[in-house]
Structure 1
């Protein structure tokens, strides 16, 4: 069956089948909700107005971490929960959620001294139940420089070395969506919720939708709705006429990417900035990425710009702690900007507002969840589905407890990270045997885990093109068939991560990858040109930076 027909059949099911639950929003929280609810036996539909993970869930710092800085705000419960969740999510997908030792250099005049850092990291480990070699180690100045020679020597006083986890947020979201489907959910991207229908008691009875791919309008009949729409949660609450004094506050976070050779860090670093903030610099395959900012944002969440001022702020801060690298704007290969949908707190700055999640329940039955951190997505999903269980109990139904702690994600299973590393060697051998590039093994396993051999087998069947393009085209075809990739940009940005972390690899394969999508979806010549233009525009969007326009004077 061709990909277009598969999608049409999914839309037909949405339009004709009754569902227990519709989840609106296909970011990490919505994907987690769909998996949690489906695994508890509910008939679940998940819809997303753009591509899965196209909002905040592809634009985080890409860490599964406990939020060390939240200890400063005494958010002990939050630090404990997400600290413990790090290990849980790592166990569910160790190929995606990878151990990452973090170096915290201590500097003269910094926000943390040796004693406070030692105590904070000890509390951090205690709250997260960290054991063995992952426990924090305090380093002298000399030991810190041995660990990371690029650090600025004259102001360095020592360091702390502790454990975190690095991930690809978009891949984590997509694997949750696929796992939800394995548990019975029906997930479709590019389907926008435009409104609600209500019964005589003014309870939501259907979600009004538009398929943005075909402009087809339809309704999804349902008993319950959970909105996990991130920055758009308040938009749906307004449609439902259930806004109250609780509202979202959007905080913009910018990251930039440079080639690893320009910032060749030995370990991820979490370092002080002159204005009192702290930034991350994180090595990832051929790149190192730096972030993040934390400023109020009132613009369009669909197109969040990275301004030259944002880039210069991050570069200046990085050069101040790693003075020998002398990074300049021309070194920045790519960037991304996302918004954190925080719960507004009067009198607090963006950096001071809590990252705790909150659930809003309207008289219509609409449940909305916002706030929270990437790390805590599974617990957020559990909480909101538990709240749904209370609605079900009022109707005389019951809902069992969550089991997602034990549901491994697609791409596995792996017993532990050591098995992941051994598997990468196996994949390198398979690539070499197929006359493909062995150095793509780490990339393939990090993205697709044990789904990699299928992609390699598909590449072997392709008899045209270079080894690089054959593998890329097989990867794209696999994502169309198994991951609902609808447009080439879906693959370039979110399935493969190339837009951010492997920009030079796009141009040599782009035309052939577009051919794969054209064959799958029957593109006309004009549509082929349109999709090529969209990818080129996306490359320009993430790699060129204009000055921030001056704010209009208030009247």
Structure 2
């Protein structure tokens, strides 16, 4: 395998340049930090040990939501902040962050009654400054059943109807990174921070790294470092010898995916489970996904098992709320498991621990940020870069104020969601004119927005293969050139989302996609076979569930 000229140039730049800031961790928080810092005029490098968004940031519930359940814990400040951030992030990328009406069925013996739900949703709207048609509406039993006919009616007493937003967390991360690069940042995946160098005063002066693609070593010289490595944030604090007794606690969350035909919901539903938890069932293009669990996890965050017990729990809860569907494990097309890096609180269960973020600052200058929610990534980034501003101020420098609230992400701009829907129709016609499959229009726009025509144009230049394969090959090639996709699994899992949301679409295009990567990175026959095996193993990992002994 051989690096592309683009990757080689980036490695050389990382070796030779001295940066104002190195951001370690290419999840949504690190992406937000890189964008915030670069847009304020800092010279920024972002490095990620694996692929961008390969950890928690591709394995959330994929909602930009206000955290209704955090009202129960009286986390008013958190609910207000993330509630208001929903609209901000939607405005930055309405093709990626899409309005999603949420139905909250009320049931006998459930965790919320009609009055408490009405008050909770009113407070939720008030804190988030919700206006117009997005304000909550309380429903009768009959109205709730009409909104969602699959709901169990014998225990149904009514419902609440309110506004949230759905996203693809990995795509949101990648578009933030690309926007950060437009602002001057340098971002590279598969580069691992192994240790730090220090100056005579004991302050961090560099990051010792390993390039997992080439096997080479490099040291990135920098004045400051922010660690946003999620589940691994304590590992770097230990390397820096700045670990305290205040650390990260990992909570495992599992989601399963079934076809839309098997669970044809009209809306996203947030429903009670007899054990006191609440689950989401969320329709998305051709599938519906269900989650999540919330249990302590102490294993390897890179390889989180999805056990049959997790799957059975979600299926049982779903079948109890939607009794006519009778889902079985054979209906589960895919799944994912991630860990939430929560700030540990003595005496609290995983579900009770706060989702607030926290910043740790060491004597070496290392800033580490952990906790938080996907929805609040932009404000988390702002806070930790503001903290960096205090370090700069002691050196006589002044940092500009953030303006990421107004920085439209790559793939846009769109005036509003109505413009997104109109653009989907335009792309459908564009596909038809190119003699390609028009049913991929919604998929392309939700992933790439106004970058879609470039992919379609490239597909028309390909002569061999089916229409579906030519489009997929062009998409993969575009992601290699513009999104640093290094391996086929990068595209299948995180750039396209097919591993989770469209498993049946992988096999018909796999050979063509492998050919694209083989040409770009000059695979040998053995390397091509190895990458194919990695894809097949990933497909098995998310669709075959072992029983715990």
Query: 1:398 & 1:220 partners in 2: Cα distance?
Result: 24
SS at 2:8's partner residue? Answer: helix
> CA offsets, 1:321-370, max 9 Å, x none?
00000000110000000000000000000000000000000000000000
Q: Which position in structure 1 is the counterpart of 2:362?
A: 362
CA displacement at 1:247 relative to structure 2: 0.6
Q: Which position in structure 2 is the counterpart of 1:422?
A: 422
Q: Superposition pairs for residues 125-164 of structure 1, below 5 Å? A: 125-164=125-164
Q: Which position in structure 2 is the counterpart of 1:402?
A: 402
Q: Which position in structure 1 is the counterpart of 2:174?
A: 174
SS at 2:20's partner residue? Answer: strand
Kept after mapping to 2: 8 A contact 1:3/1:481: no
Q: Superposition pairs for residues 437-452 of structure 1, below 5 Å? A: 437-452=437-452
Query: 1:6 & 1:416 partners in 2: Cα distance?
Result: 34
Q: Stretches of 4+ moved more than 2 A in 1?
A: none
SS at 1:269's partner residue? Answer: strand
Query: 2:328 & 2:504 partners in 1: Cα distance?
Result: 19
CA displacement at 1:548 relative to structure 2: 2.2
Query: Are 2:480 and 1:461 aligned?
Result: no
SS at 1:441's partner residue? Answer: helix
CA displacement at 1:4 relative to structure 2: 1.3
Q: Superposition pairs for residues 118-517 of structure 1, below 5 Å? A: 118-517=118-517
CA displacement at 1:22 relative to structure 2: 0.1
SS at 1:255's partner residue? Answer: strand
SS at 1:415's partner residue? Answer: coil
**TM-score normalised by L of structure 1:** 0.98
> CA offsets, 1:375-432, max 9 Å, x none?
0000000000000000000111110100000000000000000000000000000000
Q: Which position in structure 2 is the counterpart of 1:553?
A: none
Query: 1:326 & 1:320 partners in 2: Cα distance?
Result: 9
**Structure 2 residue ranges without an equivalent (≥5):** none
SS at 1:543's partner residue? Answer: coil
CA displacement at 1:268 relative to structure 2: 0.2
CA displacement at 1:6 relative to structure 2: 1.1
> CA offsets, 1:24-54, max 9 Å, x none?
0000000000000000000000000000000
SS at 2:224's partner residue? Answer: strand
Q: 1:78 to 1:379 in 2, by over 3 A?
A: same
> CA offsets, 1:102-140, max 9 Å, x none?
000000000000000000000000000000000000000
Query: 1:160 & 1:142 partners in 2: Cα distance?
Result: 12
Kept after mapping to 2: 8 A contact 1:389/1:399: yes
**TM-score normalised by L of structure 2:** 0.99
SS at 1:410's partner residue? Answer: coil
CA displacement at 1:245 relative to structure 2: 1.4
Query: 2:349 & 2:37 partners in 1: Cα distance?
Result: 35
CA displacement at 1:3 relative to structure 2: 6.2
**Structure 1 residue ranges without an equivalent (≥5):** 550-555
Query: 1:335 & 1:44 partners in 2: Cα distance?
Result: 35
SS at 1:187's partner residue? Answer: strand
CA RMSD of aligned residues (A): 0.6
SS at 2:102's partner residue? Answer: strand
